[in-house]
Structure 1
Amino acid sequence: MNICELNIIKELFENSYTNQRILSKNTKYSLGVVNKSLKNLFEYEFISKNNSLTLKAKSEIEKNRPKNAIILAAGLGFRMVPINFETPKAMIEVKGEILIERIIRQLREVGVEKIYVLTGYMKEKFEYLIDKFNVELVYNREYFEKNNIFSLKLVADKLDNSYIVPSDIWCKDNPFSKVEMYSWYMVSDNLSKKSEVRVNRKNELVRVGFDDAGNDMLGISYLLSKDCDYVREKIKNLCKYEKNNSLFWEKSLFSNKKMIVHSKLVNSKDAVEINTYEQLRELDNNSNNLDTKQIKIISNTLSIDSSKIKNISVLKKGMTNRSFLFEVDRQKYIMRVPGNGTKELINRKEELDVYSKIKEKGISDDIIYINAENGYKITKYIDNARCCDKDNKDDLKRCMKFLKIFHDMNLKVEHTFDIFKSIDFYETLRNGQKSVYKDYDSTKEKVKLLKNYIENSEKRFCLCHIDANCDNFLFDKNDKIYLIDWEYSAMQDPHLDIAMFCIYSLYDKKQIDDLIDIYFENNCKTEDRIKIYAYISACGLLWSNWCEYKFQLGIEFGEYSVKQYHYAKEYFNIVNSYGVL
């Protein structure tokens, strides 16, 4: 049977027809197509002479009936800033109804009782669904660094006449049905260059050409059991390779240049993917989720109505903070929102003191608002800026010269950054849980041996950045340099900033020595070089502990974390090789 015939069977099941013209109107097929399909269905013994469904047709309907649904709700929803700081996308309110609750109710309306909800970010927010809707929650531990194909992998064995539903789609009418005759994937009639597929004349979903527009991909899908087998095997193979960590689950639907399923084409007004604050505001400007703490701060600080806040977008996945970009009256701003667990790590009053010291020095970005209680900060956006390229020698020369000028200002504050106390402090934040590194205790004992050497080395103390990594050096469109993000800044040895730049950049020893030579203009004393090596070892252990604490909060830094621990061990051995301990 073809798609037309399958759709007519579905229509005949849901409504009794003797009038072909009404059937033509409701299916949107021409009268000629309807008459030909009815004739074929009669010959196949799926309908009787009066267009009633036969037992054979009813058996086919029963075989293809939906058995379960999988709701994908693990992602962080970065584009939903600032709402996603407090609420996962699945839990946003649209027209007085929680989005995921609406999806679950729509599924239940068509008889789907078994529902799996894939969680990750803010997983605790979903717990109430167990009692309220009797759903099964499945936690994806890799939600931060991997895309939703890895969520679907966790329940791939459950795929069997299944709906797959993203949790950020609002459908005006119920998109699900008691009768599903074939596998499909939902797309909208809106065209976008972000889409991978377009609907062709055969109702197939084929890949679009390079730079061509396709139909918006909405993510809702229905898979018959026979197609589930293909998807299950495809997911298994795709998830073997680290290069596929960022893949969407839809990749498993492709075979060569088209999807294995048919299209379900809907009007763009009837099914809306809610990815951003402004998309939610456009769909429902009365949603309670629009009135976030961050939006209130922006409105009050700039003395504007929230409707004037536009073009909100995530800026970067910060290691300590979450930042987003927004625009008011064509002026761009950045709002910093402290990340999870940040209050344990950062003294915001000390940060405010630092900003007061550097305010008139022309070395940092323009602060519009900063709150020493909660760490919220608003700065003017530096347009057309770029970060320092850690592999570009000219950039490094300019940044090290800038850093040295800052150090030579000899600015003073009341607080100090103590490396070894910080190592112990970050360790205590693990709440007694052992390090993931089996030789951590012996490594720490070795690193502690560096303390006396560092303290007895010749040095001067001044205000240092502490987090002077390549991403915090910005070049504006006029090539002026700014050093941003001063929250760790404190009194310390300026040479510590060099070490921090190196380990954040994941430099090898040659690159480290090259950077030291740049800062010192090829005139670095041996004892200063050894001291910087010691800082690299100590700070490697410090940031390794920091990463382990963040990991307990569900934030994974991958290679960066492991490399910091390697620095602790490797550069202790390098310092020790000089016979100075």
Structure 2
Amino acid sequence: MNQTLTRKQFDILSILAEEKGTLSQRQLGEKSGHSLGTVNRVMQELTELQYVTEGEITGAGISALEPYRAKRAIFIAAGFGSRLVPITFNTPKPLVRVHGQRIIDGLIDACLDAGINEIYIVRGYLAEQFDQLLYKYPMIRFLENPVYNEANNISSAMVARYMLSNAYVFEADLLISNPQIIKKYHYTSDFLAIKKDRTDDWCFTVKDGVIVEEKVGGLDCWQMVGISYWNEEDGHKLSDDIKMTYEQPGGKERYWEQVPLVFCQKHYKVEVRECRENDIIEIDTFRELKAIDKTYDV
């Protein structure tokens, strides 16, 4: 992808596109993390490019952001959800209701709010139950994973591998409480994570904002959240690298994100994108579900 915007130009322009009304330079500084001097200089650059007029983004500015816009979302939703037994005996985990709403609905709603209307769900276990989503979300398209019970989630990525450019990839069983973490624009590929002093969970080692290692458990690391974004260039590379990894000995046992973060890491430069502990919850066990929603505690 030809980067026509510098990182700082992108930061300011995307904030102007997503915020309603005019922001002061001080507000832009607070939201972008850039100094007032930097904001002032970048606003002058954007004004000269005619991307901004009198502090507001122009049509040309919106067009300049188009290559960075999230265009589609892929939901990995084929698995059994064994740790949520007995609920998942009859219901796929993403369709389990928490406080009356299906888990996946919050994620889909956040995508629609961010202007992402091209939505694919990779399904396998109790696949036909996902049809119920069409009443509320008629735009959904389903991708079938026939080998979900004999391979890891890389088999779902295989099914969706041609849709990964300018795309979010979601684990479909995440309970979202802050829809704002789903952004309309991304400068590059990124993975959501939570800064941790220590964790026993899947986590990243990060250097200069870029993920350099994925591992289980660590100190002073970033705990992985199952939401990532892939730009156009990386999406094309993933379509080949996922297939290559899948077809290698033991490939079916892999997790799909190990392709760009471990096995083909040299092909990618994936940034970490920070979210907070309470932005999103992964309900791993029936005990955790009961703790969140007391109606299950019977």
TM-score w.r.t. structure 1 length? 0.45
* Cα distance in 2 between the residues matched to 1:219 and 1:30: 32
Q: Output aligned runs, 1:548-567, within 5 Å.
A: none
Contact 1:204 1:259 in 2 (8 A): no
Give the match for residue 567 of structure 1: none
Change (3 A) 1:270 1:54: same
Is 1:206 the counterpart of 2:212? The answer is yes
* Cα distance in 2 between the residues matched to 1:179 and 1:136: 23
Give the match for residue 407 of structure 1: none
- Equivalent residue letter for 1:6: F
Is 1:123 the counterpart of 2:138? The answer is no
- Equivalent residue letter for 1:233: D
Contact 2:77 2:171 in 1 (8 A): yes
* Cα distance in 2 between the residues matched to 1:187 and 1:278: 24
Of 23, 29, 35 in structure 2, the residue corresponding to residue 24 of structure 1 is 29
Distance apart, 1:221 and its partner CA: 1.5
Change (3 A) 1:83 1:259: farther
Q: Which has the larger radius of gyration?
A: 1
Of 219, 233, 237 in structure 2, the residue corresponding to residue 226 of structure 1 is 233
* Cα distance in 2 between the residues matched to 1:194 and 1:179: 28
Is 1:162 the counterpart of 2:167? The answer is yes
* Cα distance in 2 between the residues matched to 1:212 and 1:55: 46
For 1:19-48, what per-residue CA distance to the aligned partner results, in whole angstroms no more than 9, with x for missing partners?
2211122233343443454455557x2644
Q: Output aligned runs, 1:481-500, within 5 Å.
A: none
1:152 is paired with a residue whose SS is helix
Give the match for residue 194 of structure 2: 188
Change (3 A) 1:146 1:181: same
Give the match for residue 293 of structure 2: 285
* Cα distance in 2 between the residues matched to 1:249 and 1:107: 21
Give the match for residue 419 of structure 1: none
Give the match for residue 171 of structure 1: 176
* Cα distance in 2 between the residues matched to 1:252 and 1:46: 40
Q: Output aligned runs, 1:104-115, within 5 Å.
A: 104-115=108-119
* Cα distance in 1 between the residues matched to 2:26 and 2:47: 18
Higher relative contact order (CA 8 A, sep 6+): 2
* Cα distance in 2 between the residues matched to 1:177 and 1:20: 21
* Cα distance in 2 between the residues matched to 1:141 and 1:235: 17
- Equivalent residue letter for 2:93: K
Q: Output aligned runs, 1:226-375, within 5 Å.
A: 226-254=233-261, 255-256=264-265, 260-282=269-291, 284-286=292-294, 288=295, 290-291=296-297
* Cα distance in 2 between the residues matched to 1:71 and 1:29: 34
Segments of structure 1 that go 5 or more residues without pairing to the other structure are 297-581
Give the match for residue 70 of structure 2: 66
1:100 is paired with a residue whose SS is helix
**Could you say what the CA RMSD is over the residues aligned between the two structures, in angstroms?**
2.7
- Equivalent residue letter for 2:201: K
Contact 2:246 2:254 in 1 (8 A): no
For 1:111-152, what per-residue CA distance to the aligned partner results, in whole angstroms no more than 9, with x for missing partners?
322211111112122122234322122221111121111101
Contact 1:204 1:258 in 2 (8 A): no
- Equivalent residue letter for 2:94: A
Distance apart, 1:229 and its partner CA: 0.8
Change (3 A) 1:198 1:18: same
For 1:30-77, what per-residue CA distance to the aligned partner results, in whole angstroms no more than 9, with x for missing partners?
43443454455557x264474443555322222332222111111112
Change (3 A) 1:227 1:56: farther
Give the match for residue 573 of structure 1: none
Contact 1:66 1:112 in 2 (8 A): yes
Contact 2:77 2:121 in 1 (8 A): yes
Give the match for residue 576 of structure 1: none
Is 1:197 the counterpart of 2:204? The answer is yes
Identical pairs, percent: 27
Is 1:133 the counterpart of 2:137? The answer is yes
Contact 1:205 1:259 in 2 (8 A): no
Contact 2:152 2:252 in 1 (8 A): yes
* Cα distance in 1 between the residues matched to 2:57 and 2:255: 39
1:249 is paired with a residue whose SS is coil
Distance apart, 1:217 and its partner CA: 1.0
- Equivalent residue letter for 1:285: D
- Equivalent residue letter for 1:225: E
Distance apart, 1:97 and its partner CA: 0.9
1:144 is paired with a residue whose SS is coil
* Cα distance in 1 between the residues matched to 2:268 and 2:195: 17
- Equivalent residue letter for 2:123: T
* Cα distance in 2 between the residues matched to 1:256 and 1:226: 14
Contact 1:206 1:257 in 2 (8 A): no
TM-score w.r.t. structure 2 length? 0.84
* Cα distance in 1 between the residues matched to 2:216 and 2:119: 37
Give the match for residue 53 of structure 1: 57
Segments of structure 2 that go 5 or more residues without pairing to the other structure are none
Distance apart, 1:267 and its partner CA: 0.3
* Cα distance in 2 between the residues matched to 1:126 and 1:88: 8
2:234 is paired with a residue whose SS is helix
- Equivalent residue letter for 2:162: D
Aligned length: 287
Contact 1:207 1:258 in 2 (8 A): no
Change (3 A) 1:137 1:47: closer
* Cα distance in 2 between the residues matched to 1:123 and 1:239: 23
* Cα distance in 1 between the residues matched to 2:216 and 2:94: 32
1:133 is paired with a residue whose SS is coil
* Cα distance in 2 between the residues matched to 1:159 and 1:32: 37
Change (3 A) 1:160 1:60: same
